[in-house]
Amino acid sequence: MATRTTLGSLWRRSRTPLAQGGNRCLSVSVSRHHVYDNTIANLNIGKDTRVIYQGFTGKVATVNAEDTIAYGTNVVGGVSPGKGGQEHLGLPVFNTVREAMEQLNPDATSVFVPAQFAAAAIIEAIEAEIPLVVSVAEHIPVHDMLCVHDVLRTQSKTRLVGPNCPGIIAPHQCRIGIMPHKQYMRGSIGIVSKSGTLSYEAVGSTSLAGLGQSLVIGMGGDMMPGTTLVDGLKLFFDHPETEGIIVIGEIGGEAELRAAEAIQQYRRATKSPKPIIAMVAGNTAPKGRTMGHAGAFLEPGDVTAEAKAKALADSGAIVVPHPGVMGEVMSKLLSSSYMRQDVIADDTGTSVYWVYGNSMVTFEESYRALADVLASSAQNRGAKRILKFQPFEGGKDTATFNKGLKSGIRIIQMLEEGEDSSSRLLGHRLKTKQTSGDGIPVEELFVAEFEDCKYWYLAIALDRENYSPAVLISRSGGLSIEDTANSQSGCVKRFHFNFTKGITSDLLSRIQAGVNATPVETEKLGDILTRLWNLFVSKDATLLEINPLACSAEGEFKCINAKFTVDDASQRRQPELFAHIQADVPDELEAQKHGLVYIKMEGNIGIIVNGAGLAMATNDAIAYHGGASANFLDAGGQATKETIEKAFEIILRNHQVKVILINIYGGIIKCDMIAESIIGAAKDLGPLRVPLVVRLQGTNSTKGLRILEDVKLGFCIESGFGEAARKAVELANEALEKADQGNPNRLLMWRLKSSYIEDDDGRVRLALFGCEVL
């Protein structure tokens, strides 16, 4: 539920040379790689790879291990504390990873422990020097992963894949993770993907084309992954069994830009480079919203999916609009008659929680509070104050209201001005570039002193490139900081530091030199940063930002405005923060309670999809064919008949929806269960008011499609990814045309508008337009 701040991404903009032509930030960054790069070769698993499980005797691990052993993977034992000396599935169990390492000499470990214990399990495996660690768990707190990376970057024995990933598989030889192995075929295409379901789609497409896969790496959608797109590419560039490469990215971070740089260097240095296909999901994702994956969010100013795709295309990769065409395109790329032009595809919220204690005022208290602060003392009468709405979303300075008022920030001086502004804000709906639907209601206002002095910008954020926290600081703070950062390269300085060490004197010295701060300013900044860091750590923050930070002539600092984003995965550790979250769209909160990730959007095509990456790609495909999605809905890999029916119920509440597209790639989730859920929803909810387009691929898809065909309810069945999106757009357009034909007023409006445009007598026609239609 955490929403993202507008300015928290400033440090990223100077690091996008392929996408935007920018220069790197002036402050020196230390790469996370170094000796850790030496472990990339550990990804090259095969039939001889010896695998153990952590959490071996648990229910989920047991089911997975049985399936993995039946697939042919060389599982040799596992670890479950307190159960050492026993056997499980006929294999030995140990109390610690180190004991298992000494006795079994494994090449890899599959970590199947709950999210709150996953980081400790990963670190235990690193300390035991297991060559490959695969962690599939979702919702590991990002601070825990920062600790993991502090350990990873100092060693050269262990490679991590994950977390929040499907794992890694060498088809018909070795599976470590949860990949639906029945869909895989031994072959020559290497795949590295942020999204699990999109990697499954790429597998399906390349298998259908008869190419198969050499190795598939699901790096996962976490903010702090152990293996990146670049790592996968480096392995595949020299991998003898790999003849073609597929790289699948999405919004969030800059891994795709680093991948583009690696591809460009590889193609320049290689006489006969392997063909590379790429796609980036999230072109239609709304800004400021987390799209299922922990790392899949797009802040204003971040590198867009479109810019990432362009960078990849400029590097020499063939960029496709969706995974359904990957097999066909790769076949052409690998053929001797390949010509490039022949294959270009056409087809947190949290409440304000701050160290300096400005307070919120409620609707009932607003006028009394305004009177108090504006007439607090004789010497302050006439002093300026800031009156503003403080939503979780950013962008309130450029917001609009349903009554026409612009900006959620007002500068007031007299009580009467405050009363007038308050009455025009409270009770109305505000829409920013980060809100969804019709915006959010203004039910409370924030009052603060207006400081007429120099404004700084200060933040502690997570550096997704270096897997560490960083201080962001600028002497040019205020509402225009984003524009200033765009126009003045290097105005926002970035300083990385070690998560376990925190704010140190060395860091403060680097900051002082970087921004040319005086000793007094440095001392005050050190005090503020220490307070920020304590809050950052204790509350599992991913961003703490002060903008503006007022600085007086004497070097005194004062917080004017602050933003705080908390890690979604920390809900177990921060119940008091999440207890106060209220969704702007009640349907989103209801969906969350049923295990669904639902985000309302502006279009008229509803979607039900399993997997965040697949859901983003489905919305992108709809847009590619000229349509617009009404929502993002990820049913997840644990969907049940009840959750699917709840998804139908929530989507159909939106009367803008004209058609629903169900796009399922069966892995853990079974397509026959989905088919039965669709039929159940049609029975329980009554006749569905909109047509359904259904695409089922993967586990039990043939059975599921047969179930749907047998009931003869008129569902549109499509097998292709692009074909399903195209059909949904076609049906939505037909529904709109029928609505137009049944509404004489709409036809009259169109005719009068045409007359108005052609007629010079605009005033008469405008009056006629208003009278006749209204």
Q: H or E stretch including 442?
A: none
- Distance CA(559)–CA(458), nearest Å, equals 10
- Distance CA(699)–CA(183), nearest Å, equals 8
Q: H or E stretch including 144?
A: helix 142-152
Phi/psi for 547 (5° steps) reads: -155, 110
- Distance CA(598)–CA(635), nearest Å, equals 9
Angle between helices 326-334 and 196-208 (to 10 degrees): 50
> Which residue in 198, 202, 230, 187 sits closest to 334, CA to CA?
187
- Report the sign of the C-alpha dihedral through residues 446, 448, 452, 458, in that order: negative
In terms of residues, how long is the chain? 774
- Distance CA(491)–CA(15), nearest Å, equals 13
Q: In 3-state terms, what secondary structure has residue 65?
A: helix
Helical spans, DSSP H, in 519-670:
519-538, 575-578, 586-593, 612-624, 641-652
- Distance CA(204)–CA(183), nearest Å, equals 6
The strand ranges marked E within 381-481 are 385-388, 400-401, 409-412, 429-431, 440-441, 444-449, 454-463, 468-474
* Residue 715 in tokens: 């569902």
In the block, residue with structure tokens 């790689």 = 33
Q: In 3-state terms, what secondary structure has residue 11?
A: helix
Instruction: Give burial (CB, 10 Å; 0-12/13-18/19+) of 762.
Output: exposed
Phi/psi for 89 (5° steps) reads: 60, 30
- Distance CA(525)–CA(458), nearest Å, equals 9
Report cis status (omega within 30 of 0) of the bond before 691.
no
Reply yes or no on whether 293 is catalytic. yes
* Residue 534 in tokens: 């304590």
In sequence order, the 6+-apart residues with CB closer than 8 A to the CB of 465 are 15, 29, 32, 253, 254, 258
Q: Which of 88, 143, 181, 293 is catalytic?
A: 293
Contact predicate 274/242, CB 8 Å: yes
Q: Which residues are marked as active site?
A: 293
